Amino acid sequence: MKRRVFSGIQPSDVIHIGNYIGAVRRWVELQENPEKDNIFCIVDLHALTVPQDPLVLRDRTLELMALFLAVGLDPMKSTLFVQSHVTVHAEGAWLLNCITPIGWLNKMTQFKDKSIKQETILTGLLDYPVLMAADILFYDTHEVPVGEDQKQHVELARNIAERFNYHYGETFIVPEPMIGSYGARIMGLDDPTSKMSKSSSHIKGHAIRLLDDPKDIERAIMRSKTDSGSMTDHAPEIRFSKDIEKAGVNNLLTIYQVLTSKSQEAVEQDFANARGYGDLKKAVAEVVISVTEPIRARHSEIISDRAELERLMKLGAEKARAISEPRLRDVKHKMGLSL
Ligand code: TYM
CA 133, 101, 5: angle at the middle one, nearest 5?
A: 15
Strand-pair partners of 177: 144
pLDDT the model gives residue 296: 98
pLDDT digits (tens, 9 = 90+) for 56-102: 999 999 999 999 999 999 999 999 999 999 999 999 999 999 999 99
* Residue 7 Cβ < 6 Å to ligand 1: yes
pLDDT digits (tens, 9 = 90+) for 16-52: 999 999 999 999 999 999 999 999 999 999 999 999 9
**Ligand 1 centroid distance, CA of 336 (Å):** 34
262 is catalytic: no
pLDDT the model gives residue 227: 75
Residue 230 has pLDDT above 70, yes or no: no
Q: What CATH number was assigned to the domain covering residues 3-185+306-334?
A: 3.40.50.620
Helix axes 214-222, 277-302, angle to 10 degrees: 150
Q: Which amino acid is at 40?
A: F
232/109: higher pLDDT: 109
pLDDT the model gives residue 234: 67
State which ligand 1 atom lies nearest to the alpha carbon of 185.
13
Map 48-94 to HEC letters. CCCCCCHHHHHHHHHHHHHHHHHHCCCCCCCEEEEHHHCCHHHHHHH
117 is catalytic: no
Per-domain boundaries in the chain:
3-185+306-334, 198-300
Q: Among 5, 10, 17, 19, which is best to mutate for testing ligand 1, by the most ligand atoms less than 8 A from CB? A: 19
- Going by the DSSP 8-state scheme, the letter that residue 275 receives in this structure is S
Query: Are domains 3-185+306-334 and 198-300 of this chain identical in fold?
Result: no
pLDDT the model gives residue 233: 56
Residue 209 has pLDDT above 90, yes or no: yes
pLDDT the model gives residue 201: 82
Q: What is the mean pLDDT of residues 182-204?
A: 92
The answer to whether 173 touches 165, Cβ cutoff 8 Å, is no
Strand-pair partners of 122: none
**Ligand 1 centroid distance, CA of 337 (Å):** 33
* Residue 156 Cβ < 6 Å to ligand 1: no
* Residue 38 Cβ < 6 Å to ligand 1: no
User: Atom 7, ligand 1: which residue's CA is nearest?
Assistant: 19
**pTM score of the predicted model:** 0.96
Q: What CATH number was assigned to the domain covering residues 198-300?
A: 1.10.240.10
pLDDT the model gives residue 330: 98
pLDDT the model gives residue 228: 58
Q: Among 9, 46, 73, 172, which is best to mutate for testing ligand 1, by the most ligand atoms less than 8 A from CB? A: 9
Q: Which amino acid is at 262?
A: K
